[in-house]
């Protein structure tokens, strides 16, 4: 898992993941903050991340097992776009709320009934936005059985998705990241303990 170690270190060194006391958009308290929207500002690491994601999907699911890649704006869409170019797959995305002008549809891009899609997002905590997106897709009779995130914050997303019949995959989870950084003495034991408490491990 050389990539995992390298990538975790890169995230930490560039302040893409920070440890401390944070309040998230949901109002929830967190012992760390991760903002993957910064990754595309580092093109070499961004490309490595997308390539690693592509290889992981190829091995675990198979690139022929789905018709299109789907994402939710905005964090995941940047990653999904890069992946769509690398894999030469069509890309669609699900708006968080349907636009209130024009066609007022919630799924953007070319879709047809019975097509199978693979969901891509950047970070998942409880899976709220992904869950809503999956429901929108199912309303259009689009099949989805798998979702990928770069970082799984491990706070209920796996369970939330499995209730919808979707398996959650992640390139990294927060425990792996923190443990890797701890092994390299980049964060201390109290930081690791706080993260473990947060995810109930």
pLDDT tens profile 104-115: 678 999 999 899
Spatial CA neighbour of 111 closest among 139, 85, 145: 139
What percent of the chain is predicted at pLDDT more than 70? Answer: 97
Spatial CA neighbour of 31 closest among 41, 19, 39, 40: 19
Indicate which CATH number applies to the domain containing 114: 3.40.50.2020
Radius of gyration of the chain (CA): 17
Across residues 14-38, what is the average pLDDT? 92
Q: How many CA atoms lie within 13 A of 47 on its CB side?
A: 2
- Give me the domain span that covers residue 26: 2-198
- Counted domains in the chain: 1
Position 100 scores a pLDDT of: 65
Q: What is the pLDDT of residues 133-179, one digit of tens each?
A: 999 999 999 999 999 999 999 999 999 999 999 999 999 999 999 99
Given a cut of 70, whether residue 196 has pLDDT beyond it is yes
């Amino acid at each position: 898992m050389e990539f995992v170690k390298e990538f975790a270190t890169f995230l930490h060194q560039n302040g893409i993941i920070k440890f401390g006391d944070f309040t998230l958009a949901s109002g929830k308290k967190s012992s760390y903050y991760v903002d993957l929207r910064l990754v595309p500002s580092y093109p070499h690491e961004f490309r490595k991340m997308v390539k690693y994601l592509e290889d992981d999907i190829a091995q675990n699911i198979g690139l022929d097992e789905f018709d299109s890649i789907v994402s939710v704006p905005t964090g995941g869409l940047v990653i999904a776009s890069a992946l769509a170019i690398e894999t030469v797959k069509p890309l669609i995305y699900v708006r968080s709320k349907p636009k209130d002008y024009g066609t007022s549809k919630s799924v953007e891009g070319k879709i047809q009934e019975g097509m199978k899609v693979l969901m891509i997002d950047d970070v998942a905590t409880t899976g709220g936005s992904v869950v809503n997106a999956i429901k929108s897709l199912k309303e259009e009779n689009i099949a989805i059985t798998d979702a990928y995130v770069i970082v799984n914050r491990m706070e209920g997303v796996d369970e939330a998705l499995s209730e919808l019949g979707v398996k959650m995959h992640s390139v990294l989870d927060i425990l792996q990241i923190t443990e890797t950084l701890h092994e390299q003495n980049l964060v201390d034991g109290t930081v690791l303990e706080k993260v473990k408490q947060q995810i109930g491990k």
